[in-house]
Structure 1
Amino acid sequence: MDGGSELFASYEADFRLAYAEITQKIDQIPDLAAEPRKASIRAAERAIDEADEIMGQMTIELQNISSGQRAKLNARLRNYRAELDTAKRDLRRATEQADRKELFGARARASGGATLSADDMSQDQRQQLLSGTDRLENSSQRLRDSQRVANETETIGASILTDLRGQREQIINSRNVLMTADGHVDKSVRTLRGMARRMITNRIITVGIVVLLILIIAAILMGRFIPRRR
């Protein structure tokens, strides 16, 4: 993994932390009183802003990653963007439901604790049912998003394993080629050494022949020019 991919992975981890905080705050909103609920909403909004900023950094970092990895990471970035958009809708829906719930509570307090009318009770029950349905739908959507991310991660892992297997085969082939070339080099060195020994032997023989010829010629000359004894 190159440096760009490592930095992108760091941004992914930061995004996951921010997203976990967002979902936690959203889940808390229906069960909180007025002031704690407002604080939880503000915390969720800050976490959403932080996640948006992290995604901006991830978008910039994609430009520094090789084109082979960029397509996979870009797909993951789109999924993160879709998750964040879903979280924004969940926060808006939870806020609206909490406001309506607060409104019904205010009406009940304004009546001095009197029993609500049948219409108000029916409306309140309907609102609670809708709230429970929305929360169930939100949980199902987050489960589907998690399943999609897990499937994409599995696909990316399988692709990485395939790439590693191909690289391993290339390394093995290169090693075999190097071993073959090394054998050819050894054979060539032995051949050159044999040729060098034969050249030295031939040179020694040539020198010996020349010396012998010189001795023969010297003997002939000495026999011709030195007077014989009578």
Structure 2
Amino acid sequence: MSSEKFESLEDDLSAILDDVKTKERKITGSSGEERKNAIRQAERKLEEAALVLQEMEGEAKLAPVSFRTQMLSKIRHYQSDIEQSSRSLKREGTSGGRGTDNYAFDREDRLDQSNRAKLMQGHQSLQRASESIARSHQIAAETDQIGVEIIDELGTQRDTLLRTKDKLSDTDANLSRSRKILKNMARRMMTNKLILAVIILVELAILAGLVYWKFFS
């Protein structure tokens, strides 16, 4: 079973129903005031059992699908036991053993039923509030998970951007070195051209000197 709380509630419900069975046997063998007290006590136990059963239904709704079917089957079984005991108590209440205080018993019974109805309504409201809180907790957990995933994704993107920035910095540094090399090569080419021009001028001057010395001297 997937829910420890469901198992604990099931144990409580079994104990309550066993107590109801014991009181039913006591009702059968009693009369008068003792009989009325036993009936009231058994009815209160059935109310308690109904409240526990509602809590079990709430646990079953929140359980995984693989366990929910088994839980609901047990709930239907206990519901049948509660209804059977309730019918038995009604038969005992409408049968003999009331005596001259029939009206007082009916009045107390109506008051008990009114109090039971109010108690059931209060418990149902509490159960709905508990289920709403459980759903809110589940939504909050899912939201936290989404937030963690977004933060992880942003961290990954940040690392990617930092690596890209480092690569751009390296590329810029390489371009700067390339520009310096090209400038140095251009400077050397200009220097070589100037040297070559000077050499040519010197050779022309020497050639002119030789021609002048040979033909005009």
Tell me the TM-score normalised to structure 1 length.
0.46
Greater radius of gyration (CA): 2
Tell me the TM-score normalised to structure 2 length.
0.49
* Structure with more contact order per residue of length (Cα contacts < 8 Å, sep ≥ 6): 2
